[in-house]
Structure 1
Amino acid sequence: MADLSAVEICAGAGGQSLGLELAGFDHALAVELDENAVNTLRENRDWDVRSGDVADERVWNPKEYVGIDLLAGGVPCPPFSIAGKQLGATDERDLFAWAVELAGKMQPRALLLENVRGLSMPRFSAYRQHVKDRLKDLGYWSDWQLLHASDYGVPQLRPRFVLVAMRSEDAQWFEWPEKTPCDGTVGSALQKLMAANDWPGVEKWVKKANDIAPTIVGGSKKHGGADLGPTRAKAAWRDLGVDAMGVADAPPKATDPVDFLPKLTTDMVARIQGWGAEPEYEWNFTGRKTARYRQIGNAFPPPVARAVGTSIANALNRKGEPKELADVENEVMHDRLYLALKSAPTALTEKELVKLSGERMDSSTFERRMAMLARDFVINEDDQLGGRAYRLVGFKGFIGQEGHERHVRFAEMRSRIS
Structure 2
Amino acid sequence: MRSVELFTGCGGLALGLSRAGFRHEALIERDGNSVRNITHNKVCGLQHVAHWPILREDVRYVDWRPLARVDVVAGGPPCQPFSIGGKHRGHEDKRDMWPEAVRAVREIGPRAFLFENVRGLARPAFADYLRWIELSLAAPQIRIDENESRDAHLRRLEHRRREALYDIRILKVNAADYGAPQKRHRIVFLGVRKDLDIEIETPIPTHSHERLLWDQWITGRYWERHGLSRPSEEPAGANDARVARRLRQHMIPPTGKPWITCRDAFSGLGEPGSRDDLANHIFQPGARSYAGHTGSPLDEPAKALKAGDHGVPGGENMIAFADGSVRYFTVREAARLQGLPDDYEFIGSWTENMRQLGNAVPSMLAEVIARRLAGLLSRERTDKRKAAA
- Residue 11 of structure 1: aligned partner: 8
Structure-to-structure mapping, 1:390-401, within 5 angstroms: none
- Residue 162 of structure 1: aligned partner: 188
Query: Cα 1:26–1:92, aligned 2, differ >3 Å: closer, same or farther?
Result: same
- Residue 308 of structure 2: aligned partner: 219
Distance 2:362 2:32 in 1: 20
Query: Cα 1:119–1:318, aligned 2, differ >3 Å: closer, same or farther?
Result: same
Distance 2:323 2:341 in 1: 22
How far 1:83 moved relative to its partner? 1.4
Q: Under a length normalisation based on structure 2, what TM-score does the superposition of the two structures give?
A: 0.66
How far 1:119 moved relative to its partner? 0.6
Secondary structure at the residue paired with 1:86? coil
State whether residues 2 and 70 of structure 2, in contact with CA within 8 Å, keep that contact through their aligned partners in structure 1: yes
CA offsets 1:126-171 (integer angstroms, 9 cap, x no match): 1121122223334111111111110011111011111111112446
Distance 1:91 1:102 in 2: 20
Alignment match of 1:269 (pick from 309, 312, 334): 334
How far 1:237 moved relative to its partner? 4.3
State whether residues 210 and 240 of structure 1, in contact with CA within 8 Å, keep that contact through their aligned partners in structure 2: no
Q: Which residue identity does 2:89 align to in structure 1? A: L
State yes or no: 1:149 paired with 2:151: no
Alignment match of 1:63 (pick from 58, 65, 72): 65
| Structure 1 unaligned regions, length at least 5 | 200-207, 244-260, 323-418
How far 1:272 moved relative to its partner? 1.6
State whether residues 273 and 296 of structure 1, in contact with CA within 8 Å, keep that contact through their aligned partners in structure 2: yes
Q: Which residue identity does 1:21 align to in structure 2? A: S
Residue-pair matches, total: 280
State whether residues 320 and 327 of structure 2, in contact with CA within 8 Å, keep that contact through their aligned partners in structure 1: no
- Residue 51 of structure 1: aligned partner: 56
- Residue 218 of structure 2: aligned partner: none
State yes or no: 1:238 paired with 2:320: yes
- Residue 313 of structure 1: aligned partner: 374
Q: Which residue identity does 1:287 align to in structure 2? A: G
Secondary structure at the residue paired with 1:133? helix
CA offsets 1:312-342 (integer angstroms, 9 cap, x no match): 11111117999xxxxxxxxxxxxxxxxxxxx
Secondary structure at the residue paired with 1:313? helix
- Residue 216 of structure 2: aligned partner: none
Query: Cα 1:135–1:284, aligned 2, differ >3 Å: closer, same or farther?
Result: same
Query: Cα 1:191–1:157, aligned 2, differ >3 Å: closer, same or farther?
Result: same
How far 1:93 moved relative to its partner? 0.5
State yes or no: 1:294 paired with 2:355: yes
Q: Which residue identity does 1:88 align to in structure 2? A: G
- Residue 387 of structure 1: aligned partner: none
Query: Cα 1:165–1:209, aligned 2, differ >3 Å: closer, same or farther?
Result: same
Alignment match of 2:119 (pick from 114, 117, 132): 117
Q: Which residue identity does 2:345 align to in structure 1? A: N
Query: Cα 1:320–1:27, aligned 2, differ >3 Å: closer, same or farther?
Result: closer
How far 1:184 moved relative to its partner? 2.9
How far 1:310 moved relative to its partner? 0.8
State yes or no: 1:21 paired with 2:18: yes
Distance 1:237 1:196 in 2: 12
Query: Cα 1:81–1:242, aligned 2, differ >3 Å: closer, same or farther?
Result: farther
Distance 2:304 2:25 in 1: 31
Query: Cα 1:40–1:242, aligned 2, differ >3 Å: closer, same or farther?
Result: farther
CA offsets 1:274-313 (integer angstroms, 9 cap, x no match): 2238xxxx52323232222222221000010001111111
- Residue 290 of structure 2: aligned partner: none
Secondary structure at the residue paired with 2:120? helix
CA RMSD of aligned residues (A): 2.6
Q: Which residue identity does 1:48 align to in structure 2? A: P
CA offsets 1:28-60 (integer angstroms, 9 cap, x no match): 000101111112222232322111311113xxx
How far 1:217 moved relative to its partner? 0.5
State whether residues 319 and 327 of structure 2, in contact with CA within 8 Å, keep that contact through their aligned partners in structure 1: no
Structure-to-structure mapping, 1:325-344, within 5 angstroms: none
CA offsets 1:72-129 (integer angstroms, 9 cap, x no match): 1111011111112211111101011321132112111111111111011111111121
Distance 2:374 2:184 in 1: 24
Structure-to-structure mapping, 1:73-112, within 5 angstroms: 73-112=75-114
- Residue 193 of structure 1: aligned partner: 269
Q: Which residue identity does 1:215 align to in structure 2? A: A
- Residue 139 of structure 2: aligned partner: 137
- Whichever of the two has the greater Rg, that structure is 1
Distance 2:2 2:188 in 1: 20
The sequence identity of aligned pairs, in percent, is 32
How far 1:262 moved relative to its partner? 3.9
- Residue 344 of structure 1: aligned partner: none
Distance 2:362 2:118 in 1: 13
Q: Which residue identity does 1:56 align to in structure 2? A: Y
Query: Cα 1:171–1:89, aligned 2, differ >3 Å: closer, same or farther?
Result: farther
Distance 2:189 2:322 in 1: 33
- Residue 356 of structure 1: aligned partner: none
Secondary structure at the residue paired with 2:59? coil
